[in-house]
Chain A
């Protein structure tokens, strides 16, 4: 990369003399010649090949060696072929800097609309403001002034299964303002990248999202709105990572964010999504970071968090903002039996807080129980919208009583149920295994695009939640001397939500894929399967933590092994999941399925599996599977990457 100190005055001065000698007072001509001079020097310095220029314009190298910008709004480019020609764009940009014409979607002079480009080129070329007058960019200055930035934090609202929209988590940036304390941090503005999805898109939504037909825009939503959305409504824990950027780096990042007000990108759910474009902003702040090119096919928010925390010295303090439901669960666990009964009673009938019995609790404990009940009533108001008005009314009654208690119970430190996401395993997985099936032995190679299953190391992931996407297992059977695609999973999603007296979220599962079965005359037959179920779960803490679950389910299969090639039916599954040590986890389940459509038959399945964690990204498993007429034992070593 070429980088020299800005070329200084001499050429400019020489040119100025020449100009004065020729046509005095012809400003246009002077502009033209200074523009020509700037362009010549920019080309000599190969600025259009500079990484920073490519970052500012979001250029990506093509397979053929040329460049294309990921930016899809024509207003972002000043040359007609700017999307694919970095040099033409740079020359057109320099030319436009001489004009006060309003450009871009934000309708400002080019120096202001593309303020980061202007500052970078001005620094690289030592632009003489006597010959290229600087425009005043009041709108930009007011905007930056409102941020009053002190630092930048990466915000990660964690994944939450019971809202399909939040399954993989999200990332955004928060611009922390000077003078803010932890108590007033919610007033900071965020920089958020979001797709603009029109209402009522229906099924088209997924298709359009995958193929990038939505537009993504940057916006600056106050953090309190995001906290309300994630923590209070969706019940997602939020992790906040302070990034160690200098004032200059923050300023550069904000200048580029301002430019992106003119921008829109085609929003691809898998790759060019919220996380991807935030990474590009971080690269503009510090071009020595190389972040976006780490992601080839998809950008999972948790992976970007891990990537950022791995950059030496980039992340400072890490803060945790517990979701409302996490707060309720943790606080309730500290109640005495009596207090717990009171909480349930005043949830039903808030007027009991005025009873003498309740007042026998110390004022601090009364306040603690009331505060917890108030949180719970708000939780219920969101979860059970039909009765929201009634919960709100009860909450008012509790709070009115609470305001009469002039005590401040101690702040309680809330410990997360899922540890910090950066400590979790990476999202893709490969496994090598050996096993025995019926009367044959085999070797297995398994690969999974994402993301986490119930037996994977749970650190950093939402507990009891499984999302498997695009996984394939290849086996070579030794006696039969046959290599085949043993199993293919399109998606296998399962969410267990342990119920108790306060939380009553159902559990559910859905999966689609193929397996290899032995049935009737066929010994190794491909079976297409679709399964979905709804159920309930509960937990105990006998050893460390055990979760028990039961599902009622529907199951549909297509295979040439069946009479009429298919069978459809229903049944149930029961099972348990047990953490034996912090590395050792066990799962067992049994299912019965009866088929009434197609081939009339039934099926009993058993599964016992255990996992031992060797490292953050390494684990071993021993699994036993019984399905229909198959018995299968498999030992695998699994690595996450």
Chain B
């Protein structure tokens, strides 16, 4: 709290420092590849869910890390022609950054994070209720995979879908 008071004088100067929340300065583009994915992969090595960690850091420190690669034109979006790989990468990154929200949603068998993950895994809208129920049922083992890594969670979800009477056709159709 005292630190808050101490930085208050600084804060008064910041009409929307929220803006500075996540720095946008791109890292040097290192050739072909996905900025978004690159960020995700490089950060998984350091920390299981770097998103919240980094953001918490910002909240507490006021100062954002300046190495996040979401800058425009740095190939951060749609950066590969391999659509399947790109979709997989997006799902994995989403699962990693939103793991805590996903674990709540899976336990409850509903929620926007779960619906979004289902969409990234290309589960059609009419099958999503099955998907939600499946994640609730297999909550414990899915969370164990998620604690290991987001890659493991996505893999476990694919496997669970493949073994599911309704979702199997979605899974194999990919």
Residues of A in contact with B (beta carbons under 8 Å apart):
105-106, 108, 113, 139, 142-143, 145-147, 157, 162-171, 181-187, 189, 191-201, 203, 205-207, 209-210, 214-222, 224-226, 228-230, 232-234, 257-258, 260-262, 267, 269-270, 273-275, 298-301, 367, 371, 374-375, 378, 382, 385, 392, 396, 399-400, 402-403, 406, 408, 467, 469, 491, 493, 506, 508, 510, 532, 534
Distance in angstroms between the alpha carbons of A218 and B94 in the assembled complex: 22
Distance in angstroms between the alpha carbons of A168 and B12 in the assembled complex: 9
Q: Are A198 and B66 in contact (CB under 8 A)?
A: yes
Residues of B within 8 A of A226 (CB): 22
Name the distance in Å between A111's Cβ and chain B's nearest Cβ. 14
Distance in angstroms between the alpha carbons of A493 and B18 in the assembled complex: 18
Q: Are B107 and A400 in contact (CB under 8 A)?
A: yes
Please report the total number of B residues contacting A with Cβ < 8 Å. Answer: 72
B140 contacts A by Cβ under 8 Å: yes
Distance in angstroms between the alpha carbons of A119 and B136 in the assembled complex: 50
Name the distance in Å between A250's Cβ and chain B's nearest Cβ. 16
25 contacts between A and B (CB under 8 A): A142-B79, A165-B17, A170-B21, A195-B23, A196-B66, A198-B66, A206-B9, A207-B13, A219-B24, A220-B70, A220-B77, A225-B97, A233-B56, A233-B59, A258-B73, A269-B16, A274-B19, A385-B56, A396-B143, A399-B103, A399-B143, A400-B139, A403-B107, A406-B109, A508-B1
Residues of B within 8 A of A217 (CB): 23-26, 71-72
Distance in angstroms between the alpha carbons of A209 and B17 in the assembled complex: 9
Residues of A within 8 A of B71 (CB): 217-219, 261
Distance in angstroms between the alpha carbons of A300 and B25 in the assembled complex: 23
Q: Are A187 and B120 in contact (CB under 8 A)?
A: yes
A184 in contact with B119 given A166-B18, A170-B16, A199-B65 (CB within 8 Å):
yes
Residues of B within 8 A of A183 (CB): 112, 115-116
Residues of A within 8 A of B13 (CB): 205-207, 209-210, 269-270
Q: Which of B63-77 contact A (CB under 8 A)?
A: 63-66, 70-77
Name the distance in Å between A63's Cβ and chain B's nearest Cβ. 24
Residues of B in contact with A (beta carbons under 8 Å apart):
1, 4-5, 7-26, 36, 51-52, 55-56, 58-66, 70-79, 94, 97-98, 100-101, 103-104, 106-110, 112-113, 115-116, 119-120, 125, 133, 136-137, 139-140, 143
Residues of A within 8 A of B8 (CB): 164, 493, 510
Name the distance in Å between B101's Cβ and chain A's nearest Cβ. 7
Distance in angstroms between the alpha carbons of A522 and B133 in the assembled complex: 78
Least CB separation from A509: chain B residue: B5
Chain A at the B interface: mostly helix, strand, loop or mixed? mixed
Q: Are A189 and B77 in contact (CB under 8 A)?
A: yes
Q: Across the A-B interface, how many residue pairs have beta carbons closer than 8 Å?
A: 269
Pick the residue among A232, A261, A508 that contacts B73 (CB under 8 A): A261
Q: Are B15 and A168 in contact (CB under 8 A)?
A: yes
Q: Are B106 and A169 in contact (CB under 8 A)?
A: no
Name the distance in Å between B52's Cβ and chain A's nearest Cβ. 6
Least CB separation from B142: chain A residue: A403
Distance in angstroms between the alpha carbons of A146 and B70 in the assembled complex: 14
Least CB separation from B136: chain A residue: A403
Q: Are A506 and B62 in contact (CB under 8 A)?
A: no
Residues of B within 8 A of A157 (CB): 18
Leading 7 A-B pairs by shortest Cβ distance: A164-B11, A261-B73, A170-B18, A219-B24, A274-B19, A146-B78, A261-B72
Distance in angstroms between the alpha carbons of A192 and B101 in the assembled complex: 23
Q: Are A228 and B52 in contact (CB under 8 A)?
A: yes
Least CB separation from A180: chain B residue: B119
Least CB separation from A107: chain B residue: B29
Name the distance in Å between B8's Cβ and chain A's nearest Cβ. 5
Q: Are B19 and A192 in contact (CB under 8 A)?
A: yes
Distance in angstroms between the alpha carbons of A442 and B55 in the assembled complex: 52
Q: Are A139 and B1 in contact (CB under 8 A)?
A: no
Name the distance in Å between B82's Cβ and chain A's nearest Cβ. 12
Distance in angstroms between the alpha carbons of A273 and B14 in the assembled complex: 9
Q: Are A261 and B97 in contact (CB under 8 A)?
A: no
Least CB separation from B147: chain A residue: A396
Distance in angstroms between the alpha carbons of A171 and B19 in the assembled complex: 8
Distance in angstroms between the alpha carbons of A547 and B153 in the assembled complex: 47
Pick the residue among B5, B22, B74, B115 that contacts A194 (CB under 8 A): B22
Pick the residue among B62, B79, B94, B143 that contacts A165 (CB under 8 A): B62
Q: Are A378 and B5 in contact (CB under 8 A)?
A: no
Q: Are A229 and B16 in contact (CB under 8 A)?
A: no
Distance in angstroms between the alpha carbons of A265 and B79 in the assembled complex: 26
Distance in angstroms between the alpha carbons of A477 and B153 in the assembled complex: 74
Distance in angstroms between the alpha carbons of A622 and B53 in the assembled complex: 49
Q: Are B63 and A508 in contact (CB under 8 A)?
A: no
Name the distance in Å between A364's Cβ and chain B's nearest Cβ. 12
